[in-house]
Amino acid sequence: MNSRATEVRIRRMSAADLERVMEIAESLRDAPRWPVSAYWAALDPLNTPRRIALVAEEPETDAVAGFAVASLLAPQAELESIAVAAEWQRRGVGGRLLKAMVEKLLTEQVTEVILEVRASNRAALGFYQAQGFKETERRPRYYADPQEDAVLMGLRVGASPVPETGT
Ligand SMILES: CC(C)(COP(=O)(O)OP(=O)(O)OC[C@H]1O[C@@H](n2cnc3c(N)ncnc32)[C@H](O)[C@@H]1OP(=O)(O)O)[C@@H](O)C(=O)NCCC(=O)NCCS
């Protein structure tokens, strides 16, 4: 456990969080730059694919420290974005967000969480590996501006299906 671990409360993202969520994303070089319309879509339960969007907040001040968004394509979910404000990083907030996300995804019959990340994003790669994700594939020159490879990763969650015995 991280020695500077901070207690945070995890809850669903709401429209009132969007200004702070975008501020966090814009302050981090490696966070995805989503237009506000993408966050609105993430909050819309009628949007296809449906998304789960969570924030982590510091309980004493209600300050939002980070957020995560996943899209549902059961039995898979894609972790599309996870970001923790620089001053909160390496204090267990990202891990808490991911754990809470997996708990929610399990109630949606998800058995695998997938994601793609820039090969140069060492912090995210280290984080995902620490959370149990395994590299499944590499897509050369997948990203533009700057051009670089994508690393695809996957995490099995929940119970494995019972194998068929053929009897
Ligand atoms: C990736 C990110 C969300 C991790 O959040 P975090 O709150 O700092 O992560 P945690 O404190 O829960 O870290 C848990 C473990 O992950 C690993 N880890 C986290 N950051 C790491 C880094 N920079 N380098 C190597 N390993 C790292 C460590 O094993 C860490 O445990 P430790 O601190 O006890 O060593 C954060 O670095 C971030 O917001 N990055 C910018 C946005 C981004 O790149 N998002 C991913 C692409 S969408």
Q: How much is the average pLDDT of 147-154?
A: 97
Predicted pLDDT of residue 72 = 97
- Name the residue with the closest Cα to ligand 1, atom 32: 2
pLDDT tens-digit readout, 21-74: 999 999 999 999 999 999 999 999 999 999 999 999 999 999 999 999 999 999
Does 28 contact ligand 1 (Cβ within 6 A)? yes
Predicted pLDDT of residue 4 = 58
The pLDDT confidence band at residue 132, using thresholds 50, 70 and 90, is: very high
Predicted pLDDT of residue 6 = 73
Strands across the sheet containing 63-73? 9-12, 51-58, 63-73, 76-84, 112-118, 148-156, 134-143
The CATH number of 9-156 is 3.40.630.30
Nearest-atom number in ligand 1 for the CA of 66 is 39
Q: 39 near 91, Cβ under 8 Å?
A: no
Alpha helices (H) along 3-121: 18-27, 36-43, 93-106
User: Pick from 107, 124, 12: which is nearest to 68 by CA?
Assistant: 12
pLDDT tens-digit readout, 82-112: 999 999 999 999 999 999 999 999 999 999 9
Does 89 contact ligand 1 (Cβ within 6 A)? yes
116 an active-site residue? Answer: yes
CA distance linking residue 125 with residue 141, whole number of Å:
17
Active-site pick, 39, 57, 80, 128: 128
Does 125 contact ligand 1 (Cβ within 6 A)? no
Instruction: State yes or no: pLDDT of 145 exceeds 50.
Output: yes
Q: What's the mean per-residue pLDDT of the chain?
A: 93
Whole-number Cα distances in Å, 75 to 126, 140, 141: 25, 27, 28
* Cis amide leading into 35 (omega within 30): no
The pLDDT confidence band at residue 3, using thresholds 50, 70 and 90, is: very low
- 65 class by beta-carbon count within 10 Å (0-12 exposed, 13-18 middle, 19+ buried): buried
Predicted pLDDT of residue 158 = 87
CA distance linking residue 60 with residue 71, whole number of Å:
30
